[in-house]
Structure 1
C-alpha cells in the first residue's frame, strides 16, 4: 500500500524546532489538526456562533443544526444504533467519570466486583478507585502476560458472577496492546457484567464498531483524532443511560423546573448540562470527515508500516529496551539503558524530534514494568519513513552523548 502523504494538510508541521524540521511523534498524547478542522471551527465562530436548542433566530438554528449534525456524524462513525446514545463530554476522562458516578450510584453494591487491568490510564483507574471506596465494591485486575497482553484464561479467572462492571482500555497508551474487546465483552455479559471501554487510543487509529464490540459504554476524545481539545464522546446503550441520573445540573438539561424540584430532558441532553461544547463538536465532525475521507483502513496500514519499520531500526541499536507485544497499535515505548527518559527526550527535542517521556499517566503499569518512567514515540497518519529515520538518528546521537557522559 502506498504510504499516506498528508503532512501538507497540517500547518503546524511546517515549522522548525531548534533549527530542525519538526518531527512530531507524540500523537498518543494529542494529535495535530488539519487545516480542514481549523477552518471548520473558524467558520463556526465567524458566521454561526450562537447558543443551541433555545434560540428561534437564524444563528441559533444554524448552531443547533451544526451541533446535532455532529452528533449524528459521531453515531455513524462508531456505528451506534441511535444518535441519542451519543453524549458530548469534555473528553475521555469526563466520559468515564459520568459512568463511574451515575452508573455506580444505581447499580454497584458492597461486595460487587469491578474488574480492570494494570495497563489502565489513570483516567480509567482513579474513578473506579473512588467508586470502590464509596460503595464498598472490590477492585480486581486481570493479570498481564509477560509481553503485556491479556490471555483468555486470565480474563475468565478474573471475571466472575460477582463482577458488576469491567472497565478496560481498547489500546494501551504505553504498550500499544490491542485488547480483545469483543471476546471480553461476550464473556463479561455471560457473567452478568456490563463493560466500559476506554477507546481514547483506538478510535483515532482503527475502525471501531460499538455494535460489533457489543460494549455497554465506549469513551473517547476528539483531540487524539485530529479534532480540537475539550470535546469527547460517551457512547452508552440506551437501556443503561435511561436508568442513570445526570451528574451535572443546570441549564440545557432540564425539562421542567419548580422551586423545589425539577425533571430532566430525555437522552442525550440530560447529561449535557450548561452551554454545550458547540465549536468542539463542529471541529470533531470535521476531524471525522477528514479521517473518513482518507479511510481508517489506510490509516491503520500506514501506522503499522511505520511502527514495524521503527521497530526494526530500534532492534539494531544496542542498549535499547522496548516494552510491549509484537503486535501493537502505532506506538513504541522504550528506554536507553542507564539514561533517564527525560534526558533522552531532551536530546531528541534538540534535533526537532518530539517524543513523550514520563509515566504516561500509568504509574501502576510502570511498576509492573519495573521502571519509573519510559520514553514513547507514537505515530499517526501524517508521519513518514523520513520521520522515523530522523528519530533513529536522534537516538544514535543521544546514545553517543550519554555514552561519553557515562
Structure 2
C-alpha cells in the first residue's frame, strides 16, 4: 500500500464509503436511462446496496492520508462494486467484464466530482440521523430541568464572584437557548451541504457527461436517502472550494463552545459535595477514584468537554484544509470530511450520553442553594434605590470585613431599621425588572 499512514484507525470514514455507495447506485440508475445495459446497471445497484448497508466495509482499507482529491478511494469503490457486480452476474473476479470499474461504475464521473459529492451526502446524512436528534434530546432534557427548577432562587455569579439572584430555572434557560441556537445553526448549513458537485467531472465543465446527468443524479440520491439534494449551481466552486464544509464545521465549533460552557457550569455547580458549591447533585454512574473511596466525579461533564475540545481542534484543521483550493481543485478533501464527520459523530454521541447519564438525573440541593443565597452580600444591590450606591457599598464592605451578615452591618450603620431591611431585601423580588 502506497499510503501506509496512521494504520487502521485512520481508514476512510464508514459514512463516506456508504455515501459513495449511494452515489454509485444513483449514477448507475441514471446511466441506464442514457443507454447503459440495464443488467449491468442493476448489478451495480445491487452491489452498491451492499456498500450502503456496510456489508462490504472490510474491502475499503485505504486511509485518509492519500491524494487530496480522494482518487484512490474513488477507485477503491469502483473496483469493489465492479467485482461484486461481476459476481452477481456470474463472471470472474478481476476480469473487469461484464462490469468495468471505470467504463461502467465510474461512467460520466471523475474523482474530482464524486468525492465532494460523497462528502456532502455523508455529512447531511450524519447530521440528520446522528447529530440533530441528539441535540433535540439534550434541548428537551434541559428544558424539563428548567421547568423543574423554575421557582428555586439562587445567587448569580459573574466574574466567578457573587452577583444578584436569579432562579436556577433562569440559569438553565440560558443552556436551553444555547442548544436551540445550535440546532438552528446546524440546520441552516444543510441547504449548502445539499448542493452536489456531481456532473462537474474533472474541472467543473461537465466533460464526458450527458446533459441533465447532474440533475438526475441529485434527484436519484434524494430518492435513495430520503433527504433533499440538488445539483450545485456552479460546479467550479463545488470542486475548487469547500466553503460549505468549512461553514458546517463552524456550526459544529459553535455547538462545541456552547456544550463546553454548559458542561463546565454544571460540573462547577456540582462541585463538592461538602467543600465546593454543591448546588447541584449529579447521578452516581461509577466510582470516581481508585484510591479515594466513595468519591463521585462529574464524568459525563468531563467527557463532553473533551468532545468539545476535539471538535474545536477539528475546526482549525478544516479551516486550514478549506483554504487549500488551488485553481480548479481543493486537494485536502479527505482530511476535510474525516474531521467534519468526526465532529458530527462526537457531538451527537456526546450530547446523547450527557443527556441520558447526566442531565435527566440532575437534582437541586435546595438547602445548600438557600444557605449560599442568604450569605451573599450582593443582595445589597436592591438597596441602591433606597440609600444610594455609596451607602449600599459601605454596608457590603462592612459586613465582609467584620464577617457579619448584610443585615447586621446595615443596622449598625443606622441606615435602615430591621423592618425596613426585611421589606427591601427580598430575593424573590430581585428576579426581573421592577
More helix as a share of residues: 2
TM-score normalised by the shorter chain: which range applies? under 0.3
TM-score by length of 2: 0.21
TM-score by length of 1: 0.22
Bigger relative contact order, structure 1 or 2, given CA contacts below 8 A and separation 6+? 1
